[in-house]
Amino acid sequence: MLRIVPTAQVAAGVHLDPSQIALVIVDLLGRPVLHRSLPAPTDSPAEDIARIAGALREMQEALEAEGWRTPGGATAREAMLGIGVASPGGIDVRRGLVVNPPWLPGWRGVPLVQELGAATGLPVVLDKDTNAALTAENWSAGQRPEERVQEETVLYVFAGAGIGSAVSVGGRVHHGAAALAGEIGHLPTGLDGEMCDCGRRACLSRFTDVSVLLAAMAEAGLPDPERSGGGCPDSLAPLARAAQNGEPVAAAVLVGYGTALGEALCSLVGIHDPHRVVLGGPHWDVLAPHVLARIEERVRRDAPPEQVAIESSQLGDGVGALGAAALFLQRELSPAVR
């Protein structure tokens, strides 16, 4: 029986998050070997791609300086299979283009796969960050076969700059015709709320987008987000602390977040009938203690515990980059599951 030596080769993952560019090098089981983060993407994709390529070279050099080698003696550069990139939608997976991500206004029609491949000399794959995060969850579950239901349906909710979702069945992530599946920001919540830019009232994004939460922080007189990290994962910590301390605006904002996402999940659970709902993403660890119970309360009206498990991701705020690396490994090691 063929056995894979986990440290025989490595792959890299890159997450183009609006708040930062996260990078990771992983072994063949998707386990992180080295992490790094760069400042947020700019309006100059060419410069950003050069930054990513340079950072990956520095990470390889850092591993070699620490004496890292494969069992066969190969260096990190020699053992690097390729790079997976996770980006907010919309993207064109087939052509390797970042098309029109709403949170990255400078990235329009960028041939990322081609340009990053040219800058690094490595093969590159591209997918949505929600799909990447779910891929990471599936790889993590796959390392615990006794806990993995072979044909289970998993619904993943990604709490980033915006809110998104992804669905997999038996480890295969559903992409849809244009890799746009899971765009749930304009899902109606049925709540009282503000008019959305799309012309409808109380869309999910009006309760969950980080820009909405940061505006609420400013209204409550909490620390200026521009001085405390902008949209980075810990920028919502002051909001969470204020809610914990009983500040009424902060508490109301997080109640609204949990209520709206719970209502949206009622619809999504009814549509997908998943075995598990996993909530994660860059901002989830900060938000979860304040919103998870309300989400469960809403979902449980229609879906009892024996029907669907609701859980937080254990992969932390670096799940996008980990998932991006897993995307590449999946293409190389499991070509039938894409």
> How confident is the model at residue 148, as a pLDDT?
52
Model's pTM, two decimal places?
0.90
User: What local confidence, expressed as pLDDT, does residue 222 receive?
Assistant: 73
Percent pLDDT > 90 in the chain is 63
Task: Residue 56: name the closest of 138, 128, 124 by CA.
Answer: 124
Q: What is the pLDDT of residues 194-231, one digit of tens each?
A: 898 888 899 999 999 998 998 888 877 776 554 444 45
Q: What's the CA gap between 281 and 278, in Å, rounded? A: 10
pLDDT at 111: 98
- pLDDT category of residue 19 using cuts at 50, 70 and 90: confident
Q: Hey, what domains does the chain have and what are their CATH numbers?
A: 10-134+319-333 (3.30.420.40), 146-316 (3.30.420.40)
What pLDDT is recorded for position 234? Answer: 67
Torsion from C-alpha of 150, 152, 158, 164, nearest 10 degrees: 120
Tens of pLDDT, residue by residue over 296-325, are 999 998 877 778 999 999 999 899 999 999
What pLDDT, on a 0 to 100 scale, did the predictor assign at position 105?
87
Instruction: Give the pLDDT score at 228.
Output: 42
Asked if pLDDT for residue 32 goes beyond 90, the answer is yes
What is the Rg, in whole angstroms, of the alpha carbon atoms belonging to the chain?
20
**Cα distance between residue 117 and residue 83, in whole Å:** 8
Average confidence score pLDDT of the chain: 88
Can you list the positions of beta strands (E) in the chain? 10-17, 20-26, 32-39, 80-87, 91-92, 97-98, 124-128, 153-159, 163-169, 172-173, 276-280, 309-312
What was the pLDDT predicted at 119?
Answer: 98
Query: What pLDDT sits at residue 286?
Result: 93
**39-63 pLDDT, tens digit each:** 999 999 999 999 999 999 999 999 9
Per residue in 122-180, pLDDT tens? 999 999 999 999 999 988 765 554 455 567 999 999 999 899 999 999 888 998 877 77
Per-residue pLDDT, 233: 62
Q: Judge whether residue 102 has pLDDT over 70.
A: yes
3-state DSSP helix/strand/coil % of the chain, to nearest 5: 40, 20, 40
pLDDT number for residue 334: 66
β-bridge partners, 124: 83
pLDDT at position 258 is 97
Locate 235 and state its tokens.
């920028």
Neighbours of 337 (CB within 10 A): 15
* pLDDT value at residue 86: 96
**Integer Cα distance of 199 and 216 in angstroms:** 22
pLDDT recorded at residue 270? 93
- pLDDT tens readout for residues 283-297: 999 999 999 999 999
